[in-house]
């Protein structure tokens, strides 16, 4: 006799998820192999018994309502699977992560034999997916927290740091609140303007060009720069400008951070300038000579000139008109010398009626030419008395020190005086 | 892609079928959840995805948080069933179904899923029954959304045309209000039109 094969049950047992058939009173009619293995309750122990016997803690009122809905509508109903599992607890044996001790189940209640008030409850283990979701939620929470902190930090930066952001062509695209408040600008007032608009004309063009060049080479630039407030008040700033490179290595913007050093500059000015003529004093001149120019020229082999100028017969002016008028002469000469010099040249009051000049990037002919220009400019001054200057020029040669250069310039000046004054002599 | 046009007859049939479906849903909720209320006559609109986003924003108030449950249905007529309920209504629903003063999050989620099940099963099943086709329901999922930004235009690509069937349900005793959207798109719209054609032939035969 051929044994009858129970194909539907074989099919249910072959499924990779749990399937039970229960009636409206929760009596188990079928309990598939997956459930047998994962719940440790055998088919024989479950069939004919109520689920209540084995799982007294689940919400049977809800389950009954869902079974009734399924049977009434002849359509599946579902448990929510997004939060904690609300159906039967099934142990989970995952060792490598311990977020869930029991399986997170997706539960579908489908009509089975409606006339006999039976439904099929399919349970799917979605624990891995649920774990991922929980982890993702944790990460999202962390990201949200970080965003809050980031916003807070950004707010502090915006409120307290003087920052200007420009595009690759140095047009302003963003300005911090602190910058606007500090310099008296309204929000968005500077947007779209070239960065140069905020710099005073005291900033030498060469400095600005140097800054642009450094930044275009994608290097950070730092230096001191004077910025004009909306009310045209000039304020000295320590500036750090950084090119912003995107992840593709392409320049996207520049960010400039400014720090007010006006007071420092004021003190510095007092310490480095002559109070009468407002020219650099001897201390500052020495500093420029030693640190900047000597080093640069040793490196490049470029030449430069040191020039000493002395007002001819200044003692007679003082004696004839008094020291106050003598001071006026000093101020006027200082002013004309300052305006006649080339950009990049250095001028200082050396003491008494002496001035000293540093002329970078010159040869002998050029140095004499500059000194001559200065001499003529002073000669043409229209003051209450005629004034003239004598000049001694020395040109840097390898091995020179400040002392040797000064000695030669002094000797040249002496020669100019000897030769009748109002002259330029080179040694 | 050529847009599918619905004639007045098509829309009349669809409107009539949806009226029947809505009546069915109200009766089922009264029977199964012991909640007695009304559902508005469904509005039927054909739109593109941007229009859908706007339609939803015009319908759902922006100031509340909402439980939004989405359930797909597939077959000769496939689409997405969306049930939107304010958080206040969702808590009231949890109260009503679980008979407790302060339902927890899981109670509320499950209550919302349960109501969605009944609404989708009755409305869609009734519609498809009238059109002589069968549909398969997929597992619904619920999420809480602040405001009314239910459609992400970046994600909802590939929609050319969408039919929006929308209605509102009110259960005054339980203070529960919700909005229902049944959406179907492109090829499914053609399928719906063909099914309505068959229904029209049936009616005029």
A114–B contact, CB cutoff 8 A? no
| Nearest chain B CA: its distance from A12 CA (Å) | 20
Choose among A106, A103, A121: nearest CA to A19: A121
Beta bridge partners of A30: A21
B128–A contact, CB cutoff 8 A? no
Long-range contacts at A282-291 (CB < 8 A, ≥ 24 apart): A282/A348, A282/A349, A282/A350, A282/A351, A282/A356, A284/A348, A285/A346, A285/A348, A285/A350, A285/A356, A285/A358, A286/A402, A288/A346, A288/A358, A289/A346, A289/A358, A289/A402, A290/A402
Long-range contacts at A38-44 (CB < 8 A, ≥ 24 apart): A38/A90, A38/A91, A38/A103, A39/A88, A39/A90
Cα dist. A354→A148, A309, A348, A391 in Å?
Answer: 64, 6, 9, 10
Residue B139: which of A75, A78, A84 has the nearest Cβ?
A: A78
Residue B126 has pLDDT above 70, yes or no: yes
| Nearest chain A CA: its distance from B10 CA (Å) | 27
Tens of pLDDT along A57-74?
A: 998 988 999 999 999 999
Residue A301 has pLDDT above 70, yes or no: no
Beta bridge partners of A411: none
E strands, A69-117, in order: 77-78, 105-111
Question: What rounded mean pLDDT belongs to chain A?
Answer: 90
| Amino acid B51: pLDDT | 83
B88–A contact, CB cutoff 8 A? no
| Amino acid A80: pLDDT | 85
No. of helices (H) and no. of strands (E), chain A: 15, 15
Mutation pick from B108, B110, B126 vs chain A, by most beta carbons of A within 10 Å, is B110
Tens of pLDDT along B57-66?
A: 888 888 889 9
Q: For A22-35, what is the mean pLDDT?
A: 95
Q: Among positive and negative, which fits the CA dihedral A196, A199, A204, A207?
A: negative
Residue A180 has pLDDT above 60, yes or no: yes
Residue B28: list chain A partners with CB under 8 A.
Answer: 72-73
Mutation pick from B26, B28, B30, B32 vs chain A, by most beta carbons of A within 10 Å, is B32
Residue A155: Cβ within 10 Å count: 11
Beta bridge partners of A115: none
* Distance of alpha carbon A62 from alpha carbon B99, whole angstroms: 11
Q: Search chain B and give the residue with CA nearest A68.
A: B32
**A375-379, B58-62, B73-77, B112-116, range with greatest mean pLDDT:** A375-379
Mutation pick from A58, A60, A73 vs chain B, by most beta carbons of B within 10 Å, is A73
Residue B130 has pLDDT above 90, yes or no: no
Spatial neighbors of A190 by CB under 8 A, at least 6 apart, are: A164, A172, A175, A180, A197, A198
Residue ranges per domain, chain B? 8-204
Beta bridge partners of A354: A310, A351
At A300, the pLDDT band (50, 70, 90 cuts) reads: low
Question: What rounded mean pLDDT belongs to chain B?
Answer: 84
Residue A130 has pLDDT above 60, yes or no: yes
- Interface touch A69/B109, C-beta < 8 Å: no
Residue B163 has pLDDT above 90, yes or no: no
Strand A424-426, strand A389-395: pairing: parallel
Mutation pick from A24, A62, A69, A140 vs chain B, by most beta carbons of B within 10 Å, is A69
| Nearest chain A CA: its distance from B150 CA (Å) | 18
A195 or A399, higher pLDDT: A195
Tens of pLDDT along A314-333?
A: 999 999 999 999 999 999 99
Residue A2 has pLDDT above 60, yes or no: no
A residues 41-70 lying closer than 8 A (beta carbon) to B: 59, 61-62, 65-66, 68-69
* Distance of alpha carbon B72 from alpha carbon B136, whole angstroms: 8
Residue A270 has pLDDT above 70, yes or no: yes
CB-based burial, A293-307: b 16+ in 10 Å, e otherwise: bbeebeeeeebbbbb
Residue A203 has pLDDT above 60, yes or no: yes
- Interface touch A69/B118, C-beta < 8 Å: yes
Residue A78: list chain B partners with CB under 8 A.
Answer: 113, 117, 139-140
- Interface touch B139/A75, C-beta < 8 Å: no
| Amino acid A411: pLDDT | 96
Q: Search chain B and give the residue with CA nearest A76.
A: B137
Q: Search chain B and give the residue with CA nearest A64.
A: B32
Tens of pLDDT along A89-118?
A: 999 888 787 678 899 999 999 999 999 999
Residue B140: list chain A partners with CB under 8 A.
Answer: 78
Q: Under CATH, what is the fold of the domain B8-204?
A: Chemotaxis protein chec (3.40.1550)
DSSP state for residue A341 in the 8-state scheme? S
For the record, the structure tokens of A402 come out as: 């400040």
Residue B85: list chain A partners with CB under 8 A.
Answer: none
- Interface touch B139/A108, C-beta < 8 Å: yes
At A296, the pLDDT band (50, 70, 90 cuts) reads: low
Tens of pLDDT along A40-61?
A: 899 999 999 999 999 999 989 8
* Distance of alpha carbon A18 from alpha carbon A34, whole angstroms: 5
| Amino acid B153: pLDDT | 64
- Interface touch B113/A78, C-beta < 8 Å: yes
Beta bridge partners of B165: B44, B182
- Interface touch A80/B110, C-beta < 8 Å: yes
Residue B26: list chain A partners with CB under 8 A.
Answer: none
In three-state form (DSSP H/G/I as H, E/B as E, the rest C), the secondary structure along chain B is: CCCCCCCHHHHHHHHHHHHHHHHHHHHHHHHHHCCCCEECCCEEEEECHHHHHHHHHHHCCCCCEEEEEEEEEECCCCEEEEEEEEHHHHHHHHHHHHCCCCCCHHHHHHHHHHHHHHHHHHHHHHHHHHCCCCCEECCCEEEEEECCCCCCCCCCCCCCCEEEEEEEEEECCCCEEEEEEEEEEHHHHHHHHHHHHHHHHHHHC
Q: Search chain A and give the residue with CA nearest B30.
A: A69
Q: DSSP 3-state assignment of A396?
A: coil
| Amino acid A94: pLDDT | 80
| Amino acid A3: pLDDT | 63
| Nearest chain A CA: its distance from B113 CA (Å) | 6
Tens of pLDDT along B151-162?
A: 776 666 666 678
Residue A244 has pLDDT above 60, yes or no: yes
Give ipTM to 2 decimals.
0.86
Q: For B155-184, what is the mean pLDDT?
A: 79
- Interface touch A75/B125, C-beta < 8 Å: yes
């Amino acid at each position: 006799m051929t044994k009858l094969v129970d194909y539907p049950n074989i099919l249910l047992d072959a499924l990779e998820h749990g399937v039970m058939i229960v009636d409206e009173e929760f009596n188990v009619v079928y309990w598939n192999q997956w459930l047998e293995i994962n719940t440790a309750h055998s088919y024989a122990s479950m069939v004919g018994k109520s689920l209540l016997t084995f799982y007294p803690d689940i919400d049977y009122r809800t389950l009954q309502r869902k079974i009734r809905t399924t049977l009434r509508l002849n359509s599946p109903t579902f448990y929510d699977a997004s939060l904690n599992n609300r159906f039967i607890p099934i142990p989970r044996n995952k060792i490598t992560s311990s977020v869930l001790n029991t399986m997170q189940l997706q539960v579908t209640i489908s009509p089975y034999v409606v006339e006999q008030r039976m439904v099929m409850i399919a349970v799917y283990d979605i624990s891995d997916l649920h774990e991922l979701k929980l982890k993702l939620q944790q990460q999202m929470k962390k990201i949200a927290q970080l965003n809050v902190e980031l916003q807070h930090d950004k707010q502090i930066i915006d409120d307290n740091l003087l920052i200007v952001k420009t595009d690759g062509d140095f047009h302003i695209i963003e300005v911090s609140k602190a910058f606007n408040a500090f310099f008296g600008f309204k929000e968005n007032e500077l947007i779209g303007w070239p960065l140069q608009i905020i710099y005073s004309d005291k900033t030498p063009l060469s400095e600005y060009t140097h800054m642009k060049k450094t930044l275009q080479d994608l290097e950070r630039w730092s230096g001191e720069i004077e910025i004009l407030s909306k009310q045209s008040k000039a304020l000295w700033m320590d500036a750090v400008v950084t090119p912003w490179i995107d992840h593709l290595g392409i320049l996207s913007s520049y960010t400039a951070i400014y720090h007010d050093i006006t007071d420092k500059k004021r003190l510095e000015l007092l310490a480095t300038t002559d109070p009468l003529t407002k020219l650099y004093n001897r201390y500052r001149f020495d500093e420029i000579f030693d640190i900047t120019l000597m080093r640069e020229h040793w490196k490049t082999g470029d030449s430069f000139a040191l020039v000493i100028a002395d007002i001819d017969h200044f003692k007679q002016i003082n004696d004839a008109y008094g020291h106050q008028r003598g001071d006026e002469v000093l101020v006027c000469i200082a002013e004309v010398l300052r305006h006649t010099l080339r950009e990049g040249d250095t001028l200082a009051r050396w003491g008494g009626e002496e001035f000293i000049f540093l002329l970078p990037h010159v040869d002998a002919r050029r140095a004499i030419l500059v000194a001559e220009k200065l001499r003529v400019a002073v000669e043409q001054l229209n003051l209450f008395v005629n004034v003239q200057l004598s000049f001694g020029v020395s040109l840097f040669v390898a091995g020179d020190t400040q002392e040797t250069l000064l000695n030669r310039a002094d000797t040249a000046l002496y020669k100019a005086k000897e030769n009748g004054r109002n002259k330029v002599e080179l040694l | 892609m050529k847009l599918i046009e619905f004639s007045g007859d098509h829309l009349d049939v669809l409107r009539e079928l949806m009226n029947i479906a809505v009546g069915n849903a109200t009766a089922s909720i009264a029977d199964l959840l012991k909640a007695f209320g009304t559902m508005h006559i469904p509005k039927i609109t054909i739109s593109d995805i941007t229009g859908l986003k706007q339609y939803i924003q015009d319908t759902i108030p922006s100031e509340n948080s909402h439980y939004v449950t989405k359930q797909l249905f597939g077959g000769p007529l496939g689409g997405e069933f969306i049930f939107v309920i304010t958080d206040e209504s969702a808590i009231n629903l949890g109260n009503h179904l679980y008979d407790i003063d302060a339902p927890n999050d899981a109670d509320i989620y499950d209550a919302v899923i349960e109501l969605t099940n009944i609404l989708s099963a009755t409305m869609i099943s009734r519609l498809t029954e009238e059109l002589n086709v069968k549909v398969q329901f997929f597992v619904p999922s619920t999420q809480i959304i602040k405001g009314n930004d239910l459609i992400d235009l970046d994600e909802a690509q590939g929609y050319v045309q969408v039919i929006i069937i929308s209605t509102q349900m009110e259960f005054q005793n339980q203070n529960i209000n919700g909005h229902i959207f049944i959406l179907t798109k492109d090829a499914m719209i053609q399928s719906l039109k063909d099914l309505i054609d068959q229904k029209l032939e049936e009616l005029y035969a």
